[in-house]
Structure 1
Amino acid sequence: MAEAGDLLAEQPAPQALPSTARPMKMTLSTGPDSSGGLGAVGFRTAKYQPHEWHCNNSALYQEAFAGCEQAECSRAEAKELAELTTAAAQRAQQHATAALVQRMQDIHLWKVKLQKEIEELSAETSLLAAQKRRLERALDTIEIPYAIATDNLMCRERRQHPDLVSDEVERELLKELELIRNIQELLKRTLMQAGNQMRINQDHKEICEMDWSDKVETYSIDEKCERYSNQSTNIQFHPVTVKFEESASTPETWAKFSHDNLYRAEQEKLASINLRALIDNILHDISEDLRRQCAAVNEAFAKRCEELDEAKRKLEHYLNKTLKEIGHQETTIAALKQAIKDKEAPMKVAQTRLYDRSFRPNVELCRDEAQFRLISEVEELTESIASLKKKLLESEQSLWNLEDTRMNLEKEIAVKTNSIFIDKQKCMAHRSRYPTVSKLAGYR
């Protein structure tokens, strides 16, 4: 370019070419001497004029100079544009890589939160399952007190009159049965609630797992994208991907989706924790209530057995007295009969004397002192015998009454013995197999 400038400087300034000079149009002679010589003087020939030659060269020089200059500017601009676009592409790639890294960090953060929530929800569900098993064991264990209370009531129906009484023991047993039925209903409702909560926990765990799985896959994709470089061999053009999907989420909706999943899972986890605490309280309360009612029934049984023992002792005491009195009364009756029998001989003597003296002749049949004494003797003997017979009847009636009393006492003692056997040997012995507090609370 410098040589071209020097050459142009040595040439005279180019004159503007006439309109007929570019391109040159040649006017040919039509005469016989048109090929040269004097015949061509004054006519335009096919040859250029010197000044035209210089002008043409100048024009070519100028055109070449301008083209070179324009090309140089274009080269400079192209180089600058290439450098700018290269730098812009590098910056864009760096920004995109940084955005991918930041996005991976966000995804990893949510992934860690989701994984933690999944583990906690899984652990909480396992704990709730353990509580549910406690409820099931407690419900099975409560069948034992129910069977015991029912058996006690059925056994006590075999008591004999008059011991077949609606006493304190029966009232406490009925209260125990009612308490057990209420507890069974409560445990069944709580079991259903625990099962529903476990299903809800599992549903939210699956939702979090799906979200976590999507984020793991997305993290893997973004990690793969972050590793791409200009030197990668597995890159290619995908023009159709340069657009936003209509179903694509925004960063706000993306974050809200995971946040809502975590929030709902956390709420259900708290509900599960509260339900476990409620189950603990329920099992503790029902075990205490059942053992308290069991103690009340046992105490009522003990008092009733003491009453029965005391009544039996008193009945046996009066039976012994009655038996002794029967023996005495039999002795008395025998003595009365002997006394009556002993009066027969004096009566015979006195009546025989009166009979024999009734044969005294004539005036000898006198109402003398002997006669009066004999008649008085007979009357006294008759009155004594009548008194003895009356007393004998009274004694015999008393003996009969004592025999009835003895029979009633023996029967009542047998009734009391039967009642004591039922309450002590049957009911209280059966109640010794009453479950412990730990078993009633659902523990093994």
Structure 2
Amino acid sequence: MSAQVLVSRPPAPQCVPVGSLQPHCVEEAVNTGQHSSSGLATAGFRTAKYLLEEWLQANFTSYYQASADRDGSERSRHEAKQLAAETEARAQRSQADGTKKLGERLLDIHFWRSELGREIGELRAETELLLEQKNRLQRALDATEIPLSIAADNLQCRERRLGVELVRDGVEVELLQEVELIRNIQELVKRTLEQTIHQIRMNRAAKETLEMDWSDKVEAYEIDDRNGRYNNQSTEVQFHPNSSTYEDNTTNLDSWAQFSHDNIYKGERERMASINLRFLIDNILQDTAQDMRSQCAAVDSAFGKRCEEVEDARSKLESNLKKTLEEIGKQENNVSILNQAIKDKETPMKVAQTRLYQRTARPNVELCRDPVQFRLIGEVGELTDSVDVLKQKLEAAEQCLRNLEDTRMSLEKDIVNKANSLFIDREKCMTHRTRYPTVIRLTGYQ
């Protein structure tokens, strides 16, 4: 350019470098100032208009900028499309992984729920069996009242034995042992019953804990199962902005599994304790029933033996009574004979004494001590001695008769007492003992 610039012109427009994402790269030339073109007056001089080269440069810059913007836009579109595809794929993968995790979680919940349900069922069945054992214990305890009342009644009845029959014999010893045995068994059954009631409470508490855990597992399974069925086409999904934050009361996976494991372990522990207690109850009821029946048999045997002894003694007493009665008859006859013998001596005594008396009337020297006199005196003496001996023998016979009568009365009393003892032991006690409960009832099955 050779022409001299007479007036200043605005600076050339500044373009945004290539590659920039600015929407405009060329500014329009603005004629400002007081030296702008005003027509022919300025012809031949430099004006505010751009030169052709500047115009071409500006166009080129605009073309270049437009091309750069298009390239940037295309690149942005490509990146956006690629990013959208990647995020879509990532979202699909995340959702699929979440669904998979939910499925795995459902398997875990189903496993523990099944284990809890199995343990609940077994614990419920075990509790029912233990309840039946409790009822058996109660029935067995009630059944012991009958043997106790029978033994007490036997002891009370035998207190009504008379005389020497009121003896502490083998039957009484066995009855006292039976009463003590039954009372000890009642105490044992009562303690076992209390232990059974406590174990039933423990079983129910463990079952309640397991049921609560099982119920939570069922609810959690339903929630996760429902969540696992959600997808992008579900209509009931919505935004929950604060749901992604961790809650303070959440547990970790280990503590979650350990919680159910501990509950199942406690349930199994109580169930095993219940099983052992049931076996113990079976053994206790069997042993106590056998002990009571064995003691009952011992008492019955003692009663039988005692009745045989009393029966034998009564038979011997009756035999002795029969012999005593015979002897009493003979002794009474002997007393009669002795009395008659004494009475028979009266006439000879009268004859002898009359002879002696009559001979005292002999006159003078005829009153002499001749052999007749000596004989008569000797006869009177003999008769007197005979009467004295007979009287002594009569007294002895009468004493024997009195003794025999006393013996007879004693024998008859002893026979009556033994008959009373036999009636008490055989008719009352042994008959009452036929009501003794059977082993089936003593073990609580009836």
The code of the aligned residue for 1:219 comes to Y
Distance 1:175 1:330 in 2: 52
- 1:89 and 2:81 matched: no
Distance 2:86 2:430 in 1: 101
Q: 1:29 to 1:411 in 2, by over 3 A?
A: closer
Q: 1:362 to 1:213 in 2, by over 3 A?
A: same
Residues 32-43 of structure 1 correspond to what in structure 2 (within 5 A)? 34-37=37-40, 39-43=42-46
Q: 1:27 to 1:270 in 2, by over 3 A?
A: closer
The code of the aligned residue for 2:192 comes to T
Residues 71-110 of structure 1 correspond to what in structure 2 (within 5 A)? 71-110=73-112
Residues 2-401 of structure 1 correspond to what in structure 2 (within 5 A)? 19-22=11-14, 23=27, 24-26=29-31, 34-37=37-40, 39-45=42-48, 47-401=49-403
The code of the aligned residue for 1:135 comes to L
Contact 1:358 1:365 in 2 (8 A): yes
4+ residue runs of structure 1 moved beyond 2 angstroms? 18-31, 34-40
Distance 2:303 2:293 in 1: 15
Distance 2:370 2:192 in 1: 114
Give, in angstroms, the shift of residue 286 of structure 1: 0.1
TM-score by length of 1: 0.93
1:397-439 Cα offsets, whole Å, 9 max, x none, are 1100000000011011111111111111111111111111111
Contact 1:28 1:44 in 2 (8 A): no
Q: 1:98 to 1:387 in 2, by over 3 A?
A: same
1:432 alignment partner, SS class: helix
TM-score by length of 2: 0.93
Give, in angstroms, the shift of residue 25 of structure 1: 4.7
The code of the aligned residue for 2:155 comes to L
Give, in angstroms, the shift of residue 37 of structure 1: 3.7
2:160 alignment partner, SS class: coil
Give, in angstroms, the shift of residue 161 of structure 1: 1.5
Distance 1:99 1:328 in 2: 121
Q: 1:30 to 1:389 in 2, by over 3 A?
A: closer
Distance 2:440 2:55 in 1: 125
Matched length:
424
Q: Unaligned stretches of 5+ in structure 2? A: 1-9, 15-26
Distance 1:185 1:406 in 2: 52
Give, in angstroms, the shift of residue 27 of structure 1: 6.2
Contact 1:29 1:40 in 2 (8 A): no
Contact 1:29 1:44 in 2 (8 A): no
1:237-280 Cα offsets, whole Å, 9 max, x none, are 10110111111010000000000000000000000000000000
The code of the aligned residue for 1:424 comes to R
1:103-130 Cα offsets, whole Å, 9 max, x none, are 0010011101100100000000000000
Give, in angstroms, the shift of residue 145 of structure 1: 0.5
Q: 1:410 to 1:30 in 2, by over 3 A?
A: closer
The code of the aligned residue for 1:40 comes to A
Distance 2:271 2:32 in 1: 107
Give, in angstroms, the shift of residue 169 of structure 1: 0.8
2:435 alignment partner, SS class: coil
Counterpart of 1:409? Answer: 411
1:98 alignment partner, SS class: helix
Q: 1:161 to 1:212 in 2, by over 3 A?
A: same
Q: What is the alpha-carbon root mean square deviation over aligned residues?
A: 1.4
Q: What percent identity do the matched residue pairs reach?
A: 57
Q: Unaligned stretches of 5+ in structure 1? A: 1-17
Distance 2:237 2:256 in 1: 28
Give, in angstroms, the shift of residue 139 of structure 1: 0.2
Counterpart of 1:11? Answer: none
Q: 1:332 to 1:30 in 2, by over 3 A?
A: closer
Contact 1:207 1:261 in 2 (8 A): yes
1:17-63 Cα offsets, whole Å, 9 max, x none, are x95344435366759xx533473212214x43222221111111011
